[in-house]
Structures are given as C-alpha cells and as structure tokens.
A and B are shown apart, each in its own frame.
Chain A
Amino acid sequence: MSCSTTDNDHVMTRRRRFAPKGICVKCKTNRGRIIIRHAAYCKECFEPVLMAKFRGILDPTINCSEQGLSVRGSLQAPGNLLIGFSGGVGSTVLVDLVKCCYLAPVIPGGPKGGKKHPRKTGRPWNKIFICYIDCSACYDVDDRTDEVKTAFENFDENVFEFVPLHLEACFENGQVIVDLTNEGLPLTSGLASSSDPQTSLKNYLGSLPTPSSRESSINTLIRLLLLRTARSRDCSHVLMGTTLTGLSVNLITSVASGSGFTVGLEKGEDWKSHDSQIIRLVLPLREISMKECAAYLHWRNLSVIPNRRILLSPSLSRENVKESIGSLTKGFIYGLERDYPSTVNAIVRTCNKLVSNSTGHGPMQGGIEKWKEHISVRRLEPDGGEDVGRSDLSYLAPHICYACNTTFTSLSSRSTRKTGANGANTQPILMPLWVASNLKIQQQQPMSQSKMEEQIRDFLLE
C-alpha cells in the first residue's frame, strides 16, 4: 500500500515556544518579558543586549580601513554620517540607537561613564544627516515630506540635520534614453516623452514589465540616491534601518529576481564613487529581528510615522491584486518569523556565506547575454543575432548586471507594462541620471590588448 496520508497530516502544527519557567536567560533572576528566538529576556537585560548587537556590527566599520578594523582606541570616521529614514519601525529605532550609543549628552553632575563611554570618546562623525526620500510619485499617494519634517522636530535638531528628497530627483538632467522593447536595450537619439522628472519617473516605472521589477527598481533607486546624497555631503557612512527580518526578505527576493550573483551586497557594501571616495553602506540592525525592534520602540516610547499606503495595502487584505515577489516573500518570511524565528536567522547566515567567483568589480557579471541565450527558449528580434558580444556604447544591455537586465526585459504573462495602441510601448524611456556618467567612464577605460591589435591590424607590417 502506498504511503497514504490523512488530511490532518498536511497541517503542520505550530511549535510552542515558551522558555522554561519564563526566567530571563541573562540575569537569571527577573521574570522574562519577551521571547527572542526561544529565549526569554527581562526588560532590564533586553536593551543592553540589543545595543550590544547594534554596536557589534557598527563599531568595526567606523574607522574605515581595507580589512575591517580594530575597535581599540577612539572611533573616528573619516567623514560624516547619513541615515536613511523612512519613518518606519527600523529607521526610527536606528536613529534612537545612534543617539544613545554614540551621542550621549554631557549632563552636568551626572554619571561620567567608563573609558569607552561616548561622553569620553567624542562623536565618531562630525555631522549626521537624516535623509528622507519621498516615493509618493511611485504610488500616486500624498507627499509625506511635511509629516516627516514635523516628526523630525522631536529629534535633537542640534545633532541631526534633515535632508528631504524626492525619488524623481534621480531623473533630473538625465541624458540616456533607451528603447526597452528591444532586448539589447539600444540607446536612442530620440527625445523622451517628458522632461519633467516626476513624469519621467512614472514613465520609467510604467515601462517595466512586472510588479516585481517595479519594486526592485524603486529599492535600487532609493539606495543609489542615498549613496549619491552621501557623497555630496562628504559622508563616509550610510546607515539603513533594514532589520534581520527585512534583510531575510530582501535576500530571498533578490535571489528570486536574478541577483543571486551579488546577493552579498544586500547586507552592505563599500561603494566606490568615481572620485575614488569610499562610502560604506551598513545595516546595523541586520542581526536584530523586527520583533525586537517593535519591543524596543514600545519600551522607549518612540513613535513611527504611520504609512497609510502600507497599512491599508490591498495586498494585505488579500484582494485580487498583482503581487510582486517582494510582497509574497514578505508575507512568507513574516509568518516564518512568528512560527520558526531561528529559520529567518538561518537564511541570513547562509546567504552571508555566499561568495561570488567574480574577478571583476561590482555587480557586473560577464557573458550575461550568452548565458541568457543558453538557458532560455526565446524569440530573437530580427537583429537579435548580433546580441552576443555587442559591447559598444550604443547598447545598454552589455553594461548592466543580470538583475537589471532581467528587470528591464523579463517576459511574463503577468506583465503590467503600459502598452501603446499597437501592443508595444514605443516611447523611449529616460534612464536615471547616473547612467550617462557610468557609460562615459566605461568609454574611458583602457582598451584590451586584443581589441587594440584588432584596430591597428591593417597598419601592421608583416
């Protein structure tokens, strides 16, 4: 007889997670107040444990050196600090932790603290900017900048400087226009349909094939805009409030979206700008779960800025909407965190071990078009035979990573690409402003020996 199962076997019962007797695992005297991965912590021990995790990640990255660093001696960053602030749980906790751990005020007559107390060591950064990027144009909702600015008044204005931005700033003075209907992504000389940055952003997102590609594009634009803002403000560090849970969602999403080659960049990176300035992107909450952040938020009496779009999202009420890979992964991981919290941690730890075999730099992987040709059954365009090896600057495809290539060209039955009357989007699309400068730099790179020989072959004497 085959292994038949009853209906009840399909239902996996949820594991109970009560700590023995509910006593705090750290002080072993007080009653536990919160369960973190099967261990109970009291309120008094919870905060120092969370701060130790936070400092354990951020401290070694402050004194920028090539091989990580020694945390001995004073912490002094070579530049300023920029914190990406969305008004959500993670970034609110992040700002408070930075303030508590690195910017302790001097209280006359108050406790002095030990040798390494922030009051003794001084501030690691001269200036701290809090950058809010408004994405209202992406979702056709109200601009929340004023709301965030009002909430910012609760922070110490002598310590932090508020930098409000709009995501459409990525398209101001953009120069490169691309035809997204061709897999090679040829650069066109035609004019984009609008010179207004907000309309350009909407056209750009509207031309992407799937909800997943739209979501990953918004995340990429936010990340790059933060890094470029940091460069313009002489910052050496950029911090984001991505928690362990959020990072786990990002890792699974990025692997599913074709970013497996560069999955390591999700947990932070050393971004090198064109003027060789290194900006370190750090996620100091990457070992702190969302549950810990929520408890910290409550016990420190902090407030988030309510986001109507996220709280009232139709996808959360399971209406019939086209969901992205990101939102489906979020639902899955949040459920996993509730039922099997250690698994969420295991996802991050496993992805941390992955190393790409790249010999180049950055997220670029060679031979993308050849790879795509071998793994997929696809219809080539009339000029598609020339795709492989097309490396001149009249095409964008050879100069972007696999994930971006997939973002622009993914063929899907769930496509949401805005189409014209003839069934195809014929409008040329304006690319973000940094695409032009990146292409110029690639043009200036030294020519390979074989290409040099090829160009002067006719003039060589036998």
Chain B
Amino acid sequence: MSLDQLNLKIVFGGGLELLFSNQRSHNISIPSRVNSKLYNGETTTTEEQNIKSFSRRPGILVLINDTDWELEGEGDYVLNDGDEIVLISTLHGG
C-alpha cells in the first residue's frame, strides 16, 4: 500500500445513496494530502464549490468509525487508513 493513499469506506444512508448509483457502501482511495485551497474554503472550480456547499450543509449526520464526528473533533480529525465514514441525510424528515 502506498503511504500517499488512504483507503476509506464511505457509507451513505437516509436516501443519500440515490446520488451515488443507489449503492450504500463505497470503498475508495484518496490522496493522503488534501487540497489546502479546498480545506480553507478558497475554492476555484465549480466542482470544488459543490463539494464545499455539500460538506457544510446541515441536516447530514456524520459518523467516523461508528462515532459521532463531533466527538472526534469534527474538521480537526485526521483520517487514518481503513476509516469508515458514514453520512446519513435527514433532509427527508417525516
């Protein structure tokens, strides 16, 4: 395994899977270094802006390794290889 890559398991729930080929679980590899411009909100492309607006939208519960990401320090949490991230939408409420 390359140290430059992180293997993550992303699980979508609450209907979010509809946006990702109706598949709830995805195993992905991402670069271990995040684009600092994106992290600091200095977005340039439309795609980056979309990611930024999605990530900051309320109504989505985030669990990191089955634990509320608020307990993990939210944005301060440093992803590790093999982490499981669960995103559950509550937009379709009642």
Contacts and interface: CB of A to CB of B under 8 A. Distances in A.
A278 interface: no
A352 B73 CA distance: 35
A162 B15 CA distance: 22
Contacts of A243: 93-94
Nearest to A337: B58
Nearest to A17: B70
Contacts of A331: 58
B65 to A, nearest CB: 10
A1 interface: no
A33 B88 contact: no
A88 B92 contact: yes
A410 to B, nearest CB: 25
A68 B57 CA distance: 40
Interface in B45-69: 53, 57-59, 61, 63, 66-68
A308 B90 contact: no
B93 A298 contact: no
Task: Give the interface residue-count category, chain B.
Answer: 20 to 34
B85 interface: no
A246 B91 CA distance: 10
A88 B94 contact: yes
Contacts of B43: none
B15 A304 contact: yes
A311 B19 contact: yes
B67 A298 contact: no
Nearest to B19: A311
Interface residues of A, number: 48
Nearest to A283: B94
Nearest to B50: A317
A295 B63 CA distance: 9
A307 B92 contact: yes
A316 B58 CA distance: 11
Nearest to B73: A18
Given A33-B66, A89-B93, A90-B93, A294 B15 contact: no
B71 A89 contact: no
Contacts of A240: 94
Contacts of B53: 317-318
B89 interface: yes
A336 to B, nearest CB: 8
Contacts of B57: 316
A241 B93 CA distance: 8
Contact of A89 (B17, B63, B92): B92
A334 B93 CA distance: 11
Nearest to B13: A298
A187 interface: no
Interface string A123-162: 0000000000000000000000000000000000000000
B59 A35 contact: no
A274 to B, nearest CB: 28
Contacts of A212: none
A294 B14 contact: yes
Nearest to A14: B74
A432 B41 CA distance: 50
A46 to B, nearest CB: 10
Contacts of B68: 32-35, 295
A32 to B, nearest CB: 6
A154 to B, nearest CB: 15
B18 interface: yes
Contacts of A45: none
A279 interface: no
A443 B92 CA distance: 42
Given A291-B90, A311-B19, 15 more contacts: A18-B73, A33-B67, A34-B68, A40-B71, A91-B94, A294-B14, A294-B90, A305-B15, A306-B17, A307-B15, A310-B92, A316-B57, A334-B59, A334-B90, A338-B58
Interface of B: 13-19, 22, 53, 57-59, 61, 63, 66-68, 70-71, 73, 86, 88-94
Interface of A: 17-19, 22, 31-35, 40, 43, 84, 86-91, 240-243, 245-246, 290-291, 293-295, 297-298, 303-308, 310-312, 316-318, 331, 334-335, 337-338
11 contacts: A18-B73, A33-B66, A89-B93, A242-B93, A294-B89, A297-B13, A298-B13, A307-B15, A316-B57, A331-B58, A334-B90
